Amino acid sequence: MTHTPTIPTSLEWHEDHLLILNQQKLPNTVEYLTLTNITDYYNAIVSLKVRGAPAIGITAAYGLAHAASHYETDNLTEFTHLFRRDKDYLADSRPTAVNLVWALNRLEQVLAHAQSVNEAKTNLLHSAIQIHTEDEEVCRMIGEYALDVLDDKRRIMTICNAGSIATSKYGTALAPFHLGRERGIGFQVFACETRPVLQGARLTAWELQQSGVDVTLITDSMAAHTIKEKGVEAVIVGADRISANGDTANKIGTSMLAILCHHYHIPFYVAAPSSTFDLSSRTGDDIPIEERGPDEITTMGGTMIAPEHVHVYNPAFDVTSHELISGIITEKGVLYPHFQESIQQTINLA
Ligand SMILES: CSC[C@H]1O[C@H](OP(=O)(O)O)[C@H](O)[C@@H]1O
């Protein structure tokens, strides 16, 4: 049976609930979950059932609007108090991806202009839907600019999953591959498995196969050898938070690839929407790095692969110095060094 290439997505809003693709079950099971209360939304984000900076921002926005639609008060002051309680709850789910707080703050701005509880409930949901639908065009534009930047390069490496299922559609780092396949541009993508959660092995390999893109899976430790032996021509990655000087937080292992690109004299690109920039973080030192539990490292499929009680350090992200980044590809165009200035000129207009 021939497979019809499709670009998979992970989020669907249905009138009064959000349907999410359970990314913890991929690639073996394609399962959708219905989120019905704010604890469902929180737990889905914390447990990485939904993950990826833009996708968790969109999910949190729906979660907050959904919760607010059930507040039983006609008093706007009381409504606002409940709103801020739930906003803070969702904001605490994961600390590194700034898209989460960006989306929640956008809803708070909508609430500030509401004249009644009913108007607030309506406008909050419309804002969440708008954040979701806007993101698809943003990712498509990132894909267009990335195709220009990659030019005639075809052998590209990536890490984690900055793909269609990590956003509304298309993705950021993977967007050029999806668009390219639709236009007959044949990329060969080398996907790092991305220990410990295996977003590369479980998600990027699956997503690109669904979309008909040529993907080769490697372990993270094979990156240097693969760049040299397979003639990798560029690396493109996503981002969770980009500071004012261009330092970029992304999945753990990303800075390792940037250092390899510097050594092998190939370009290292970051692909991210404007909503991933955090100008209040002056440098990467200001970016909070999420640390996750030991089980992600000491177990696989529920089986211990390390001795009991071993000390574990599990940072989920690392920071790549702006000095190692060749370009930051956004929906507004490509930013080049010196990033402090180009970010001020471009992202301030967001
Ligand atoms: C466009 S996704 C951006 C970013 O989010 C991922 O982190 P996680 O899987 O922990 O949510 C990864 O760092 C991606 O590059």
Domain ranges of the chain: 11-135, 152-346
pLDDT value at residue 126: 98
Among protein residues, the one with the nearest Cα to ligand 1's atom 7 is 52
What are the mean pLDDT values of the chain's consecutive 10-residue runs (350 residues total)?
87 96 98 97 98 98 98 98 98 97 98 98 98 98 98 98 98 98 97 98 98 98 98 99 98 98 98 97 98 98 96 98 98 96 80
Q: Is 113 exposed, middle or buried (0-12, 13-18, 19+ CB in 10 A)?
A: exposed
pLDDT of residue 253: 98
Give the Cα separation of 310 and 307 in Å (integer).
6
152-346, CATH topology level: Rossmann fold (3.40.50)
Strand partners for 330 = 333
Which one-letter DSSP state was computed for residue 315? B
Q: Which amino acid is residue 193, in one-letter code?
A: E
Domain 11-135 class in CATH: mainly alpha
Q: Which two tokens stand for residue 337?
A: 């060094």
Give residue 237 CA to ligand 1 midpoint distance, Å: 9
Distance CA 243, CA 176 (A): 24
> C-alpha distances in angstroms, 233 versus 38, 162, 211, 217?
44, 19, 22, 17
Query: Quick check: 114 and 125 in contact, CB under 8 A?
Result: no
Q: Which residue bears the tokens 């990485």?
A: 48
Q: Which amino acid is at 24?
A: Q
The pLDDT assigned to 287 comes to 98
**Residue 117 — left, alpha, or beta (φ > 0 → left; ψ -120 to 50 → alpha)?**
alpha
Confidence (pLDDT) at 1 = 58
Is the beta carbon of 238 within 6 A of some atom in ligand 1? yes
Best residue among 98, 192, 199, 248 to mutate for probing ligand 1's pocket (most ligand atoms within 8 Å of CB) is: 199
pTM beyond cutoff 0.95: yes
End-to-end Cα distance, the chain: 46
Other Cβ atoms less than 10 A from the Cβ of 111: the count is 22
Q: What is the DSSP letter of 172?
A: S
Secondary structure of residue 69 in the 3-state scheme: coil
Intrachain domains 11-135 and 152-346 with the same fold: no
